[in-house]
Amino acid sequence: MRIKRTIQIIENANSILIIGLIVAGLSLFAKSQNGKLIVIEMTVAIVFILTFFFRNLIINHYLGKSKYPGVFYSVLDKLGMTNNLEISLTDELLNEIYQPNYSTNEFLNDNNLNPTVEKKKFSIWIVIFTIGSAIGLIFFLNRKVMFRDQPFLFIGLAIFIIIAFYIWRKKMRQRDDDPAYARFTEKGLYINDDMIDWKSIYDWSYEPGHQKNDAGKIVINYYDKDKNIQEIDASLSSMNTDRIDFLLLLTHYKGKYGQILQESVESLVN
């Protein structure tokens, strides 16, 4: 099973617990003459609740079986899913985090990841639907209203169609010309026009969005050339990938190409 799929299952454990508690509560107040309904509901509730409480066992089991335990644990930790869990950080696991011995191509292929993260594409279908609806409205109105009676209505719809068509053509030309939002390379991480060397990056975190259409961001902390602490935001709403994929890529590339000696870290801090 791919790392992403396993993380998604573990991430849903909290929701599973809530569902289980709701079902358990309903079963206590359920009205059934023969009691069969209560037994079924309690069984379902127990399964959901046990799934949550065994999350710790699931994570430790996958850490022992996973081909990439270091990346798996690190992404879980960044997403806050290792809190209050007893996870054994063995030397082997720590080595996988800081000194992965597998190849990048192997990791990318096994987890279906693309090191080039594209910008979120403009939805062409919205424009096509809008143009089609406006044309259909014109044909409909033509049967109900004469042009001489409502000329501005028809002219307005025609102008609206022309503008929508212009936007559609412009976006179509830009689709292949837009540069990637981020690129993961051996040399460093490229975000728009900025390049950060892997050895300069020392930490990152995920911050959820606070609005309906805000997917959140990945905040990347690094040292600049003058050893000053800087940060750059990778907006998940602006890229054509999700937070788990981005964190998987970030964790692997930093571990593979961003190792620096402990004395170098201390010199940067001091």
Residues 197 and 195: their CA atoms lie apart, in Å, by 7
Which residues span the domain enclosing 68?
A: 3-101
Among the ranges given (93-97, 101-105, 177-181, 223-227), the one the predictor scored with the smallest mean pLDDT? 93-97
Most confident of 18-32, 51-65, 192-206: 192-206
Phi (first) and psi of residue 239, to 5 degrees: -115, 155
* Shared domain check, 189 and 166: no
Q: What pLDDT band is residue 16 in, cutting at 50, 70 and 90?
A: low
Could you tell me where the DSSP H helices lie in 145-217?
A: 151-175
CA distance 18 to 217: 26
For helices 3-11 and 13-29, angle between their N-to-C axes, nearest 10 degrees:
40
CATH assignment of the domain containing 220 = 2.30.29
159 and 191, same domain (yes or no): no
Whether residue 187 is found in the same domain as residue 223? yes
Quick one: 155 and 188 in the same domain?
Answer: no
- The pLDDT of residue 264: 45
Query: Does one domain contain both 252 and 230?
Result: yes
For residues 83 and 156, membership in a common domain is answered with no
pLDDT tens track for 199-208 = 999 999 999 8
- The region that residue 57 occupies, defined by phi over 0 for left and psi between -120 and 50 for alpha, beta otherwise, is alpha
Domain end among 86, 101, 116: 101
Contact in structure between 265 and 202 (CB atoms under 8 Å): yes
Residue 206, beta-bridge partner list: 218
Same domain flag for 95 and 29: yes
**Strand residues in 57-124 grouped as ranges (E):** 116-117
**Average pLDDT of the segment spanning 207-213:** 81
115 is a domain residue: no
- 116 assigned to some structural domain: no
Residue whose pair of structure tokens reads 């798996």 in the numeric block: 72
158 domain residue, yes or no: yes
Domain tally for the chain?
A: 3
State yes or no: pLDDT of 267 exceeds 50.
no
- Statement to judge: residues 94 and 150 lie in one domain: no
Q: Is residue 110 part of a domain?
A: no
**pLDDT digit string, tens, across residues 151-198:** 766 677 777 777 777 776 766 665 555 578 899 999 999 997 789 999
| Residue 117 included in any domain | no
Give the pLDDT band (50/70/90) at residue 268.
Answer: very low
Within-domain flag for 137: yes
Residue 141 pLDDT: 67
Q: Which of 15-19, 58-62, 253-257 has the lowest mean pLDDT?
A: 15-19
Is residue 150 in a domain?
yes
Q: Are residues 217 and 233 in the same domain?
A: yes
Q: Is residue 145 part of a domain?
A: yes
Per-residue pLDDT reduced to its tens digit, 98-132: 667 788 999 999 999 999 998 876 556 666 667 67
pLDDT, position 149:
65
Domain boundary among 137, 158, 175: 175
Residue 41 clears pLDDT 50, i.e. is over it: yes
